[in-house]
Protein backbone atom coordinates (compact mmCIF):
# COMPACT_ATOMS: atom_id res chain seq x y z
CA UNK A 1 0.00 0.00 0.00
CA UNK A 2 1.38 3.43 -0.91
CA UNK A 3 1.62 5.49 2.27
CA UNK A 4 2.28 9.19 2.91
CA UNK A 5 3.40 8.92 6.53
CA UNK A 6 5.45 11.95 7.61
CA UNK A 7 4.44 13.81 4.43
CA UNK A 8 2.74 17.18 4.67
CA UNK A 9 0.22 18.06 1.98
CA UNK A 10 -1.57 21.27 1.03
CA UNK A 11 -4.70 20.83 -1.05
CA UNK A 12 -6.28 24.10 -2.19
CA UNK A 13 -10.05 24.24 -2.60
CA UNK A 14 -10.34 21.07 -0.52
CA UNK A 15 -13.75 21.84 0.97
CA UNK A 16 -15.71 20.36 -1.94
CA UNK A 17 -15.53 18.18 -5.02
CA UNK A 18 -12.15 16.95 -6.20
CA UNK A 19 -10.08 18.72 -3.55
CA UNK A 20 -12.10 17.15 -0.74
CA UNK A 21 -11.52 13.70 -2.23
CA UNK A 22 -7.75 14.32 -2.47
CA UNK A 23 -7.59 15.55 1.14
CA UNK A 24 -9.47 12.47 2.40
CA UNK A 25 -7.28 10.18 0.30
CA UNK A 26 -3.98 11.65 1.51
CA UNK A 27 -5.12 11.63 5.14
CA UNK A 28 -6.30 8.03 4.93
CA UNK A 29 -2.80 7.06 3.81
CA UNK A 30 -1.08 8.79 6.69
CA UNK A 31 -0.32 12.32 5.45
CA UNK A 32 -0.85 15.49 7.46
CA UNK A 33 -3.15 17.66 5.39
CA UNK A 34 -3.81 21.38 5.22
CA UNK A 35 -7.39 21.59 4.01
CA UNK A 36 -7.52 24.97 2.33
CA UNK A 37 -10.85 26.43 1.27
CA UNK A 38 -12.30 29.90 1.56
CA UNK A 39 -15.81 28.52 1.25
CA UNK A 40 -16.94 30.64 -1.66
CA UNK A 41 -19.52 30.25 -4.39
CA UNK A 42 -18.82 28.52 -7.70
CA UNK A 43 -18.46 31.93 -9.38
CA UNK A 44 -16.31 33.50 -6.68
CA UNK A 45 -19.10 35.98 -5.78
CA UNK A 46 -20.70 36.42 -2.39
CA UNK A 47 -19.73 35.51 1.14
CA UNK A 48 -17.11 33.12 2.35
CA UNK A 49 -17.54 30.37 4.92
CA UNK A 50 -15.25 28.29 7.10
CA UNK A 51 -17.74 25.41 6.99
CA UNK A 52 -16.51 23.41 3.94
CA UNK A 53 -12.91 23.24 5.20
CA UNK A 54 -14.03 22.56 8.79
CA UNK A 55 -16.28 19.70 7.72
CA UNK A 56 -13.51 17.99 5.76
CA UNK A 57 -11.11 18.37 8.69
CA UNK A 58 -13.73 16.94 11.07
CA UNK A 59 -14.28 13.99 8.76
CA UNK A 60 -10.54 13.30 8.52
CA UNK A 61 -10.11 13.55 12.28
CA UNK A 62 -13.10 11.30 12.92
CA UNK A 63 -11.31 8.64 10.84
CA UNK A 64 -8.13 9.06 12.88
CA UNK A 65 -6.30 11.26 10.35
CA UNK A 66 -4.33 14.49 10.74
CA UNK A 67 -5.62 17.72 9.23
CA UNK A 68 -5.99 21.44 9.84
CA UNK A 69 -8.31 23.89 8.14
CA UNK A 70 -7.10 27.00 6.35
CA UNK A 71 -9.55 29.61 5.09
CA UNK A 72 -7.29 31.89 3.07
CA UNK A 73 -7.97 32.57 -0.56
CA UNK A 74 -5.40 30.87 -2.77
CA UNK A 75 -4.36 34.40 -3.65
CA UNK A 76 -2.81 34.45 -0.17
CA UNK A 77 -0.73 31.43 -1.09
CA UNK A 78 2.13 32.35 1.18
CA UNK A 79 -0.14 32.24 4.23
CA UNK A 80 -1.41 28.78 3.24
CA UNK A 81 2.11 27.38 2.97
CA UNK A 82 2.97 29.03 6.30
CA UNK A 83 -0.01 27.18 7.82
CA UNK A 84 1.62 23.91 6.74
CA UNK A 85 4.97 24.95 8.22
CA UNK A 86 3.41 26.23 11.44
CA UNK A 87 1.21 23.19 12.04
CA UNK A 88 3.30 20.37 10.63
CA UNK A 89 6.83 21.76 10.18
CA UNK A 90 7.23 21.17 6.43
CA UNK A 91 5.57 21.07 3.02
CA UNK A 92 6.08 18.07 0.73
CA UNK A 93 3.10 18.03 -1.60
CA UNK A 94 1.04 20.83 -3.10
CA UNK A 95 -2.14 20.15 -5.05
CA UNK A 96 -3.27 23.29 -6.88
CA UNK A 97 -6.97 22.60 -7.16
CA UNK A 98 -9.06 25.62 -6.04
CA UNK A 99 -11.12 27.06 -8.83
CA UNK A 100 -14.15 29.00 -9.95
CA UNK A 101 -16.08 29.45 -13.17
CA UNK A 102 -17.38 32.62 -14.76
CA UNK A 103 -18.66 31.28 -18.06
CA UNK A 104 -19.84 33.77 -20.68
CA UNK A 105 -19.62 33.96 -24.43
CA UNK A 106 -16.57 36.04 -25.35
CA UNK A 107 -18.79 38.88 -26.59
CA UNK A 108 -20.35 39.25 -23.14
CA UNK A 109 -17.24 38.61 -21.06
CA UNK A 110 -16.29 41.49 -18.79
CA UNK A 111 -12.80 42.38 -17.63
CA UNK A 112 -13.85 41.28 -14.17
CA UNK A 113 -14.83 37.82 -15.49
CA UNK A 114 -11.48 37.58 -17.24
CA UNK A 115 -9.33 38.92 -14.40
CA UNK A 116 -10.92 36.95 -11.57
CA UNK A 117 -10.54 33.64 -13.39
CA UNK A 118 -6.90 34.40 -14.30
CA UNK A 119 -6.22 35.46 -10.71
CA UNK A 120 -7.71 32.41 -9.00
CA UNK A 121 -6.52 29.72 -11.41
CA UNK A 122 -3.23 30.97 -12.80
CA UNK A 123 -1.83 33.80 -10.69
CA UNK A 124 -2.73 32.19 -7.37
CA UNK A 125 -1.18 28.89 -8.49
CA UNK A 126 1.99 30.85 -9.22
CA UNK A 127 1.86 32.58 -5.81
CA UNK A 128 1.32 29.50 -3.67
CA UNK A 129 3.71 27.34 -5.69
CA UNK A 130 6.37 30.04 -5.40
CA UNK A 131 5.86 30.08 -1.63
CA UNK A 132 6.26 26.29 -1.43
CA UNK A 133 9.16 26.17 -3.89
CA UNK A 134 11.90 27.49 -1.60
CA UNK A 135 11.03 24.92 1.09
CA UNK A 136 10.93 22.11 -1.47
CA UNK A 137 14.23 23.15 -3.01
CA UNK A 138 15.90 23.33 0.36
CA UNK A 139 14.71 19.89 1.43
CA UNK A 140 15.32 18.51 -2.09
CA UNK A 141 11.85 17.03 -2.26
CA UNK A 142 8.52 18.15 -3.63
CA UNK A 143 5.47 16.93 -5.51
CA UNK A 144 3.24 19.49 -7.25
CA UNK A 145 0.00 19.06 -9.17
CA UNK A 146 -1.61 21.71 -11.36
CA UNK A 147 -5.23 21.31 -12.36
CA UNK A 148 -5.84 22.17 -15.97
CA UNK A 149 -8.95 21.32 -18.00
CA UNK A 150 -10.09 19.79 -21.25
CA UNK A 151 -11.64 23.23 -21.84
CA UNK A 152 -8.12 24.58 -22.18
CA UNK A 153 -6.78 21.62 -24.16
CA UNK A 154 -9.58 21.48 -26.70
CA UNK A 155 -11.45 24.79 -26.20
CA UNK A 156 -14.98 25.11 -24.88
CA UNK A 157 -17.71 27.54 -25.85
CA UNK A 158 -18.24 30.22 -23.20
CA UNK A 159 -14.98 29.55 -21.36
CA UNK A 160 -12.40 31.85 -22.99
CA UNK A 161 -11.21 33.14 -19.60
CA UNK A 162 -11.05 29.67 -18.03
CA UNK A 163 -9.46 27.99 -21.08
CA UNK A 164 -6.70 30.59 -21.22
CA UNK A 165 -5.92 30.29 -17.51
CA UNK A 166 -5.98 26.50 -17.63
CA UNK A 167 -3.56 26.33 -20.56
CA UNK A 168 -1.33 28.77 -18.69
CA UNK A 169 -1.05 26.15 -15.96
CA UNK A 170 0.21 23.57 -18.45
CA UNK A 171 3.05 25.90 -19.42
CA UNK A 172 3.82 26.61 -15.78
CA UNK A 173 3.95 22.89 -14.99
CA UNK A 174 6.17 22.12 -17.99
CA UNK A 175 8.75 24.69 -16.98
CA UNK A 176 8.69 23.96 -13.25
CA UNK A 177 9.24 20.27 -14.05
CA UNK A 178 12.53 21.32 -15.69
CA UNK A 179 13.54 23.76 -12.96
CA UNK A 180 12.62 21.33 -10.17
CA UNK A 181 14.35 18.26 -11.61
CA UNK A 182 17.65 18.61 -9.84
CA UNK A 183 15.88 19.22 -6.52
CA UNK A 184 13.70 16.13 -6.79
CA UNK A 185 10.61 18.31 -7.25
CA UNK A 186 8.17 16.84 -9.76
CA UNK A 187 5.30 18.71 -11.43
CA UNK A 188 2.36 17.42 -13.41
CA UNK A 189 -0.81 18.86 -14.88
CA UNK A 190 -4.06 16.92 -14.80
CA UNK A 191 -7.23 17.59 -16.76
CA UNK A 192 -9.96 15.87 -14.74
CA UNK A 193 -13.65 15.49 -15.37
CA UNK A 194 -15.81 14.85 -12.34
CA UNK A 195 -19.29 15.46 -11.09
CA UNK A 196 -19.12 18.46 -8.75
CA UNK A 197 -21.00 21.67 -8.09
CA UNK A 198 -18.96 23.24 -10.93
CA UNK A 199 -20.11 20.66 -13.48
CA UNK A 200 -23.41 19.22 -12.22
CA UNK A 201 -25.48 21.26 -14.68
CA UNK A 202 -23.19 20.52 -17.63
CA UNK A 203 -22.81 16.74 -17.41
CA UNK A 204 -25.23 13.94 -18.48
CA UNK A 205 -27.63 12.40 -15.90
CA UNK A 206 -25.48 9.32 -15.19
CA UNK A 207 -22.42 11.44 -14.45
CA UNK A 208 -22.85 11.50 -10.68
CA UNK A 209 -22.34 7.75 -10.57
CA UNK A 210 -19.76 7.42 -13.34
CA UNK A 211 -17.65 10.53 -12.89
CA UNK A 212 -17.04 10.56 -9.16
CA UNK A 213 -14.11 12.63 -7.84
CA UNK A 214 -13.00 9.32 -6.26
CA UNK A 215 -12.14 8.14 -9.78
CA UNK A 216 -9.62 11.01 -10.17
CA UNK A 217 -8.05 10.90 -6.71
CA UNK A 218 -5.87 7.76 -7.13
CA UNK A 219 -3.92 9.30 -10.03
CA UNK A 220 -3.21 12.46 -8.04
CA UNK A 221 -2.00 10.43 -5.06
CA UNK A 222 0.17 8.19 -7.22
CA UNK A 223 1.82 11.19 -8.93
CA UNK A 224 2.49 12.68 -5.48
CA UNK A 225 4.02 9.55 -3.99
CA UNK A 226 7.78 9.44 -3.44
CA UNK A 227 8.02 6.28 -5.55
CA UNK A 228 6.73 8.13 -8.64
CA UNK A 229 9.64 10.06 -10.11
CA UNK A 230 8.06 10.91 -13.48
CA UNK A 231 7.75 14.61 -14.10
CA UNK A 232 6.40 17.14 -16.57
CA UNK A 233 3.44 15.13 -17.79
CA UNK A 234 -0.11 16.03 -18.65
CA UNK A 235 -2.89 13.56 -17.95
CA UNK A 236 -6.57 13.38 -18.77
CA UNK A 237 -8.45 11.51 -16.07
CA UNK A 238 -12.15 10.75 -15.61
CA UNK A 239 -14.48 7.93 -14.65
CA UNK A 240 -11.59 5.57 -13.90
CA UNK A 241 -9.90 6.13 -17.28
CA UNK A 242 -6.43 7.70 -17.26
CA UNK A 243 -4.33 8.68 -20.25
CA UNK A 244 -1.36 10.84 -21.01
CA UNK A 245 -1.70 13.79 -23.37
CA UNK A 246 1.11 15.29 -25.46
CA UNK A 247 1.53 17.81 -28.23
CA UNK A 248 1.68 16.59 -31.78
CA UNK A 249 3.42 18.47 -34.58
CA UNK A 250 3.06 17.79 -38.28
CA UNK A 251 6.26 17.03 -40.16
CA UNK A 252 5.52 20.31 -41.86
CA UNK A 253 7.26 21.68 -44.91
CA UNK A 254 10.28 23.85 -45.63
CA UNK A 255 8.57 26.31 -47.91
CA UNK A 256 11.59 28.60 -48.35
CA UNK A 257 14.08 27.97 -51.14
CA UNK A 258 17.76 28.87 -50.94
CA UNK A 259 18.51 32.49 -51.82
CA UNK A 260 14.90 33.16 -52.83
CA UNK A 261 12.44 35.50 -51.13
CA UNK A 262 9.81 33.60 -49.14
CA UNK A 263 6.34 34.33 -50.49
CA UNK A 264 2.71 33.92 -49.53
CA UNK A 265 2.37 31.59 -52.50
CA UNK A 266 5.08 29.34 -51.03
CA UNK A 267 2.81 28.90 -48.03
CA UNK A 268 -0.24 28.24 -50.18
CA UNK A 269 1.57 25.75 -52.41
CA UNK A 270 2.81 23.73 -49.43
CA UNK A 271 -0.36 23.96 -47.36
CA UNK A 272 -1.19 20.25 -47.64
CA UNK A 273 2.17 19.26 -46.16
CA UNK A 274 2.12 22.00 -43.53
CA UNK A 275 -1.12 20.68 -42.06
CA UNK A 276 -0.68 16.95 -42.70
CA UNK A 277 -0.38 14.71 -39.67
CA UNK A 278 0.52 11.68 -41.80
CA UNK A 279 3.92 11.44 -40.09
CA UNK A 280 3.52 13.32 -36.82
CA UNK A 281 6.37 14.40 -34.57
CA UNK A 282 6.44 14.44 -30.78
CA UNK A 283 9.11 16.53 -29.14
CA UNK A 284 9.50 16.01 -25.45
CA UNK A 285 12.10 18.71 -24.95
CA UNK A 286 12.89 22.18 -26.21
CA UNK A 287 16.23 20.84 -27.51
CA UNK A 288 14.46 18.29 -29.72
CA UNK A 289 12.32 20.90 -31.41
CA UNK A 290 15.31 23.22 -31.94
CA UNK A 291 17.29 20.35 -33.52
CA UNK A 292 14.39 19.53 -35.81
CA UNK A 293 14.14 23.15 -36.97
CA UNK A 294 17.84 23.54 -37.67
CA UNK A 295 17.99 20.21 -39.48
CA UNK A 296 15.28 21.49 -41.81
CA UNK A 297 17.07 24.83 -42.37
CA UNK A 298 20.44 23.15 -43.02
CA UNK A 299 18.90 20.61 -45.37
CA UNK A 300 17.31 23.41 -47.38
CA UNK A 301 20.60 25.37 -47.50
CA UNK A 302 22.51 22.25 -48.58
CA UNK A 303 20.14 21.86 -51.51
CA UNK A 304 21.50 25.17 -52.78
P1 LIG B 1 -15.76 22.63 -6.60
O2 LIG B 1 -16.48 23.91 -6.81
O3 LIG B 1 -16.53 21.44 -6.15
O4 LIG B 1 -14.55 22.84 -5.61
C5 LIG B 1 -13.71 23.95 -5.74
C6 LIG B 1 -13.39 24.46 -4.36
O7 LIG B 1 -12.46 25.56 -4.50
C8 LIG B 1 -14.59 25.02 -3.62
O9 LIG B 1 -14.75 24.39 -2.37
C10 LIG B 1 -14.30 26.52 -3.45
O11 LIG B 1 -14.78 27.06 -2.22
C12 LIG B 1 -12.79 26.51 -3.52
N13 LIG B 1 -12.27 27.82 -3.91
C14 LIG B 1 -12.71 28.61 -4.91
N15 LIG B 1 -12.00 29.75 -4.94
C16 LIG B 1 -11.08 29.66 -3.94
C17 LIG B 1 -10.07 30.53 -3.47
N18 LIG B 1 -9.87 31.72 -4.02
N19 LIG B 1 -9.31 30.12 -2.44
C20 LIG B 1 -9.52 28.92 -1.83
N21 LIG B 1 -10.49 28.07 -2.24
C22 LIG B 1 -11.26 28.43 -3.28
O23 LIG B 1 -15.02 22.30 -8.00
P24 LIG B 1 -14.30 20.99 -8.57
O25 LIG B 1 -15.10 20.52 -9.73
O26 LIG B 1 -13.94 20.06 -7.50
O27 LIG B 1 -12.99 21.67 -9.20
C28 LIG B 1 -11.71 21.56 -8.65
C29 LIG B 1 -10.69 21.98 -9.71
O30 LIG B 1 -10.76 21.10 -10.83
C31 LIG B 1 -10.90 23.39 -10.27
O32 LIG B 1 -9.65 23.99 -10.49
C33 LIG B 1 -11.59 23.14 -11.58
O34 LIG B 1 -11.38 24.18 -12.50
C35 LIG B 1 -10.90 21.86 -12.01
N36 LIG B 1 -11.63 21.09 -12.98
C37 LIG B 1 -12.75 20.44 -12.62
C38 LIG B 1 -13.42 19.70 -13.58
C39 LIG B 1 -14.65 18.92 -13.24
O40 LIG B 1 -15.15 18.20 -14.14
N41 LIG B 1 -15.16 18.98 -12.03
C42 LIG B 1 -12.98 19.67 -14.91
C43 LIG B 1 -11.81 20.35 -15.22
C44 LIG B 1 -11.14 21.04 -14.25
12 lines ligand 1 (CB under 6 A): yes
Question: How many whole angstroms from 260 Cα to the centroid of ligand 1?
Answer: 54
Angstrom distance (rounded) from CA 80 to CA 73: 8
74 lines ligand 1 (CB under 6 A): yes
* 66-106 pLDDT tens trace: 999 999 999 999 999 999 999 999 999 999 999 999 999 99
Angle between helices 124-139 and 160-180 (to 10 degrees): 10
Summarize the confidence of residues 20-33 as an average pLDDT. 98
For residue 121, give the nearest of 159, 178, 176, 79 by alpha carbon.
159
Q: Is the pLDDT of residue 122 over 80?
A: yes
* 163-197 pLDDT tens trace: 999 999 999 999 999 999 999 999 999 999 999 99
Summarize the confidence of residues 193-213 as an average pLDDT. 94
Angstrom distance (rounded) from CA 302 to CA 16: 60
Residue 186, number of CB atoms within 10 A of its CB: 24
Q: Which of 22, 141, 162, 195 is catalytic?
A: 162
> According to the model, what pLDDT value does residue 14 have?
98
> According to the model, what pLDDT value does residue 303 have?
86
199 lines ligand 1 (CB under 6 A): yes
ipTM of the modeled complex:
0.99
Question: How many whole angstroms from 176 Cα to the centroid of ligand 1?
Answer: 22
The protein residue with its alpha carbon nearest to ligand 1, atom 29, reads 97
Annotated active-site residue 22? The verdict is no
pTM, two decimal places: 0.97
Per-residue pLDDT band at 28 (split at 50, 70, 90): very high
Amino acid sequence: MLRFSARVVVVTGAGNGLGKEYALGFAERGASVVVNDLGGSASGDGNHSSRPADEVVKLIQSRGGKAVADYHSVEDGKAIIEAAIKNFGRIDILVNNAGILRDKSFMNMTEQDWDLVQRIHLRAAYLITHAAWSYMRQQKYGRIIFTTSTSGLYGNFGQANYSAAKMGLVGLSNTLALEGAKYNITCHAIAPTAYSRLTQDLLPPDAEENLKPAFVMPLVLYLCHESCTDTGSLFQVAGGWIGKVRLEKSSGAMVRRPNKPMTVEDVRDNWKDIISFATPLHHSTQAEQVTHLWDAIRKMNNNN
